[in-house]
Amino acid sequence: MNSLKHLSLLHFALFISIASLAQSEYMEQWPQFRGPFASGIVESNLIPDRWDVNTGENILWKKLIPGLGHSSPVVWGNRLFITTSISGSGSDSLKVGLYGDIDEVGDRSEHEFRVYCIDKRSGEILWERLAHKGVPVTERHTKSSHANPTPAINGSYVVAFFGSDGLYCYDFEGKLIWKKDFGRINAGPYTDPDVEWGFASSPIIHENRVIIQCDIVGDGFLASLDLETGKEIWRTSREDVATWSTPNFLNKYGERQIVVNGFSHIGGYDFDTGKELWRLSNGGDAPIPTPFFAHGLIYIHGSHGRYQPIFAIRPEARGDLTLDRESTTSANIVWSIKRGAAYIPTNLVYGDYLYNLRMNGNLTCFNALTGELIYKERIPEAMGITASGVASNGKLYYSLEQGDVVVVKAGPEFELLSRNPMDDLMMASPAISEDMLFFRTQHYLVAVGDSR
């Protein structure tokens, strides 16, 4: 019996060791939108804070990517993946800046929806696949694309989502494993249900499952699919307005949950069953930022319409957490603010501070544990910000729509370290892998690293 008990303990120790190694490897990759668990952080002391695309200083390579896409690059090992949509009209128009028009582009030409696998060290295209060719099922906003969702990868598979134009799973060699058609997925303003803006929620992969959030005008849902077959494991209905937020996975206190943003239904769901665990209303009415986790808390924010909140939520929360009009805290909400959150970029928690960058360039720093305001500064000459920031080596990297990347020193005092023109428009959030930064501009994929 003692020998059996000893063997059992060895098996348990081996399981824990393997799980720890897998977790460690995952945290060193950039497998989904905003990197590991959407944190926006991978540490490297070799990433530069200055570069020049014209002289080539600290530019390792620059690759033309045809078409238009706001999806971010994802990286596993030496392989980088990106998606794009190529218009048959020969025009991939994009209107950036601070404006509130609800206009659609009106391009009804046939499009090619493509997936690229690229060597991250050289920029060489290892393979490309035509996932779908056809007239897009829905329109896109003048500031949007038909390739908004960022792919998700796990070292063996890459999952690319083009909304109404399909979900596709390939292996790392480019073999199509499965595809699914969810029909028309119209993400547009709930005040004008006939307007089509384009889908943007990215898939995530965890424990051999693909999680997708489809909050749309009509029958919205959250679903779990088997990664190897595409078979639907569960689907949970969501009654909310259209959103463009990516879901996230949280494993805390022995419970695995999927956390999603929303307007009337921010919430947590059981990873295995899709059962609702908790809910919270009064988010922004066009939710875009992704929930993320730090300091043992769930951070969620949104900013559109009447509400512009930031919430710091205890992950063990259950039931309806909605605050009354006057309250900013409760037994389940450690702190919150009613107004002032970012609309499109997802916030960063780096060290003890939460950084909240709004589209107009206002950067607000809070104590991440208490919500205390540390500073409020403005990034000069910011004419629109869509991309979410990333962090590494004590620095914050923010991409501006007009084509500059500004680097801000992390910490309780605002210090702008550099401003790096990319000579192209920028909508996509960057990626970090080892000692490199990857920026997607309107026309190019650019690798930044220490060229010495």
Q: Are 262 and 283 in contact (CB under 8 A)?
A: yes
Q: Are 248 and 38 in contact (CB under 8 A)?
A: yes
**Does the pLDDT at position 12 exceed 50?**
no
pLDDT of residue 255: 79
Return d(Cα 396, Cα 342) in angstroms, integer.
16
User: Mean of the per-residue pLDDT values for the chain?
Assistant: 94
- The CATH superfamily of 31-448 is YVTN repeat-like/Quinoprotein amine dehydrogenase (2.130.10.10)
CB atoms within 10 A of CB 109: 12
User: Over the stretch 55-96, which tens digit does the pLDDT of each residue have?
Assistant: 999 999 999 999 999 999 999 999 999 999 999 998 889 999
Return d(Cα 162, Cα 69) in angstroms, integer.
10
**Bridge partner list, 404:** 421
Distances (CA, A) of 315 to 224, 272, 292, 444: 21, 17, 11, 39
**Bridge partner list, 174:** none
Three-state SS sequence of 249-265: EEEECCEEEEEECCCCC
Percentage of the chain modeled with pLDDT above 90: 88
Return d(Cα 162, Cα 51) in angstroms, integer.
33
**Mean of the pLDDT values across residues 353-363?**
97
**Does the pLDDT at position 16 exceed 60?**
no
pLDDT of residue 14: 45
**Does the pLDDT at position 193 exceed 90?**
no
Domain ranges of the chain: 31-448
**Bridge partner list, 7:** none
**Does the pLDDT at position 188 exceed 70?**
yes
pLDDT of residue 28: 85
- Tell me the one-letter amino acid at 226: D
Name the DSSP class of 165. G
User: Over the stretch 91-127, which tens digit does the pLDDT of each residue have?
Assistant: 889 999 999 899 999 999 999 999 999 999 999 999 9
**Bridge partner list, 129:** 115
Return d(Cα 407, Cα 425) in angstroms, integer.
17
Residue with tokens 């499965």: 178
pLDDT of residue 17: 44
**Mean of the pLDDT values across residues 150-177?**
98
Return d(Cα 421, Cα 400) in angstroms, integer.
9
As given in the structure block, the two tokens for residue 195 are: 């307007």
Maximum pairwise Cα distance, the chain: 74
Return d(Cα 387, Cα 344) in angstroms, integer.
8
Q: Are 269 and 331 in contact (CB under 8 A)?
A: no
The structure's pTM equals 0.94
pLDDT of residue 18: 42
Q: Are 246 and 199 in contact (CB under 8 A)?
A: no
Q: How many helices (H) and strands (E) does the chain have?
A: 1, 33
User: Over the stretch 405-440, which tens digit does the pLDDT of each residue have?
Assistant: 999 999 999 999 999 999 999 999 999 999 999 999
